Structure 1
Amino acid sequence: MESKKYLNIIKHYENCISKHGDTLKGADWPNENDAILRYKIMLGLIKDGETCNLLDFGCGAGHMFEFMTNQNKLYDYINYSGLDISEKIISLSKEKFPKNNFYCFDILQDDINTLSNFDYAILNGVFTEKIDLTFDEMWLYFKSMITVVFDKVDKGIAFNVMSKAVEWERDDLFHLPTDLLIDFMTKNLSRNFVIRNDYGLYEYTVYLYK
């Protein structure tokens, strides 16, 4: 992408963590129950017990990893790594979890050839907020990002966006029509996907497989 207006989204999340600290509000999530539900839905991308390498793309302060490690070894078969564009936030994750691999990249600008492929990647909350981007700007950003991330996995990715099946839409959120998304995925990435709209939030999650 020529425009770097998407960096406004990164600034938003950095401002949240500066204001609220290493908390769910610092990640701009409204409550713990919904956050935990999202973690479970994202990890549903992977078959139970399937040993794999997972990239938490847009990992923030590593809250997904915290959830995984607090589940009585339920997710021990998953080898976790995190990636975020924010040097500030990645530094926090490295300080909290020094034994983990954390990467700091702007994948639309940086050379990521040094980054090995993963089996799976999850993008939890990466595309739910568009802040001051127009829909078209966010749609272009989404397509550019998904294309690069999908190329860095061998099996599949999971991501969530805001639903269009709502009574009203917020201007700062990315409400993506499923027909537009499906047309893009089937023509450019894969026809092998699942859309999950069964968990009670005003969003949906997509599992996109190779």
Structure 2
Amino acid sequence: MKEASQPTMLTEIAAYYAAKLEAHGPTPQGVDWNGAESHQTRHQQFLRLLDGRTHASVIDLGCGFGDFFRFLRSSGHQGQFCGYDIAPAMIEQARRLHGESDHHHWRIGAEPAEVADFAIASGIFNVKGEISDDPWRDYVYRTIDLIAQSGRQGFAFNVLSMSSDPDRRRPNLFYADPTEMLAHCLSRYGRSVAILQDYGLYEFTMIVRHPTPNEPGRPPGT
């Protein structure tokens, strides 16, 4: 396993996903998911964060070719949407599939330039390649802070679970302990935290709502 700086790590991961898109096109496999059903199931977990707020603004960090945007719109969402991805090929594909308008945009990058009502990240912590666990875990926690700052009302992300069967784990993927992640989010972002791991996949989704200004646990930098 190797150490790497964050720019190097992100360059390698962008190349990995660009190759998946090249091989499989704008499909779940093109963003390294197993299939359409599990892809849809992951999307559905994030609706818990929005809680029916169809006009809330959303940032999607690691948007791929924009399938979560398609899902949101099909679910009745009408708010502002901005998708970010580190792979230029993904953003190009998102623009081709979904266009752009005053209400939705696609941008290349790893750090959102604006703040929305809610921020989500799906799958961006899974593929670590040859990076060892400790530096990748540091990257995960830094990025969760970034997502926390990008969603003024709350944020959500998913990650592969250590509770999955050991013989099914792949060495190029990162797995987190759900109890440790829950404790981390509770201590850092306040008590309004939910962990979802009852949807049949080898992962979990964290839903975090920011406390009101007079409560402790505001997101870092706010």
Tell me whether 44-53 or 33-42 shows the greater mean CA deviation.
44-53
Q: Do residues 192 (structure 1) and 192 (structure 2) align? A: yes
SS at match of 1:187: helix
SS at match of 1:83: strand
Residue 148 of structure 2 corresponds to 150
Distance (whole Å) between structure 2 residues aligned to residue 44 and residue 38 of structure 1: 11
Matches within 5 A, 1:64-143: 64-69=68-73, 71=74, 74-96=75-97, 97-99=99-101, 100-107=104-111, 115-143=113-141
Match of 1:93, as an amino acid?
A
Superposed displacement of residue 92, structure 1: 2.1
Give 5+ residue unaligned stretches, structure 2: 211-222
Residue 14 of structure 1 corresponds to 18
Tell me whether 148-157 or 175-184 shows the greater mean CA deviation.
175-184
CA distance 1:56–1:3, change in 2 (3 Å): closer
Superposed displacement of residue 63, structure 1: 1.0
Aligned partners of 2:159 and 2:204 also within 8 Å: yes
| RMSD (CA atoms) | 1.9
Q: Do residues 44 (structure 1) and 42 (structure 2) align? A: no
Residue 4 of structure 1 corresponds to 7
Give 5+ residue unaligned stretches, structure 1: none
Superposed displacement of residue 67, structure 1: 2.3
Distance (whole Å) between structure 2 residues aligned to residue 3 and residue 68 of structure 1: 31
Count of aligned residue pairs for this structure pair: 201
CA distance 1:182–1:32, change in 2 (3 Å): same
Match of 1:12, as an amino acid?
Y
Identity of aligned residues (%): 25
SS at match of 1:52: coil
Superposed displacement of residue 49, structure 1: 3.7
1:104-124 deviations in Å (ceiling 9; x for gaps): 2232xxxx5xx2210001101
TM-score, length-scaled by structure 1: 0.87
Distance (whole Å) between structure 1 residues aligned to residue 135 and residue 76 of structure 2: 36
Aligned partners of 2:54 and 2:76 also within 8 Å: no
TM-score, length-scaled by structure 2: 0.83
Match of 2:94, as an amino acid?
S
Superposed displacement of residue 146, structure 1: 1.0
1:149-199 deviations in Å (ceiling 9; x for gaps): 211211111111111112212212211012332343233333321000110
Superposed displacement of residue 95, structure 1: 2.7
